[in-house]
Homo-oligomer: A and B are copies of this chain.
């Protein structure tokens, strides 16, 4: 796709230089809003208002939604009030709310001034819901039907009011705003008797979410049930909006990125990598690096405590990286598996005993295999090949025992910490590799030197 845009850009740049605006317009209107926004993003920002004005009204609004925040801001600042009104009028309420959330205060004032009173009210309603809640990502524009309507009347209503709705394919049956059921346009078209009422054909088994539900679980539900949209109800069970599959897809992508960033010890950011400047990246990365560096004081203290042992058997030092890395890797394998399963809703807190028992058995298998391989390596490579006479059988035994125990401890900590974190209301992804590595490091060094002291001295 990127390559496709790249050649188009070059063409458009040439056409722009030659001021061939009607050709540019002809090219742009063959394109998809997401692609037009992509091309605009690559051109010089000062050309954007000019190009944007070439687009027909509806395409302009659709393209506007797909643009990055910085370009949207630039455009709005250049808009006359009537131009701004035209764009705002074409936006769906949830997109308008997103826009208002991301713009600076003076721009927001202008946007709200141009929205009609009904839309202004709806934008404000959406903005009142907490961040990442179902309410904050829903749209209030959906098709509602009355239970007494006939199929024919329902289709007429859809044809009359559907043009402004984000999806017309799932319609919600309400009475006094209470959600009774849903019908799909497929149901309406496939029923051969146009005089049947909506009540007779609607599906009463309607799954809804509350406005305060977490957006991630809403996305999971849409994906699980393969629905086009999920209705959102308030605390009095009155229908207030819908969340559509395309919003759910964005949420799934964002939440996976957020988990991955947290797992790697970063503060999640909504900016893409290329959009982030060096200082953004620094702010994302330095907190955990500092915290983890300081917490390494404990490993340092443990090593200081065993200074005398290290002086006598310097060879012990050379296995520290191997032990620490194996422990860290074992722990992060478990923690990452558990974090992902928690995200996907595959496991619950009451599964913890079952999970710990499974991890203990897995750790036993991994520990035995690793120790055996390690013993073979120490004897064959270090002792025979590299002729390191300090690697005695006793030393090898110490290393292998420490390794097996480290793997066991790492896997138990790795699987429990994320689950406990979730139970306590923290994001389990924070408990991933870097955090667990630091704990496992300290434990593995302690185990190593205790075993060494017992066997070698």
Contact = CB atoms under 8 A, between A and B. Distances in A.
A326 B257 contact: no
B299 A322 contact: yes
Interface stretch (A13-21, A70-78, A101-109, A288-296): A288-296
A344 interface: yes
Interface stretch (A48-56, A83-91, A118-126, A246-254): A246-254
Contacts of A407: 289
Contact of A310 (B314, B332, B348, B386): B314
Nearest to A189: B159
A288 B264 CA distance: 18
A441 interface: yes
A425 interface: no
Nearest to A66: B224
A272 B342 CA distance: 11
A337 interface: yes
A104 B24 CA distance: 57
A285 B252 CA distance: 26
A317 B318 CA distance: 10
A289 B439 CA distance: 18
Contact of A264 (B221, B301, B333, B388): B333
Interface stretch (A29-37, A131-139, A172-180): A29-37
A325 B296 contact: yes
A278 B361 contact: yes
A127 to B, nearest CB: 22
Given A273-B346, A345-B1, A326 B289 contact: yes
A28 to B, nearest CB: 11
A223 interface: yes
Contact of A321 (B249, B332, B441): B441
Given A257-B340, A288-B329, A304 B274 contact: no
Nearest to A444: B321
Contacts of A428: none
A259 to B, nearest CB: 7
B322 A362 contact: no
Contacts of A282: 362, 365-366, 369
5 contacts: A223-B249, A257-B344, A274-B347, A292-B325, A300-B319
Closest 4 CB pairs of A and B: A296-B322, A264-B336, A299-B321, A226-B246
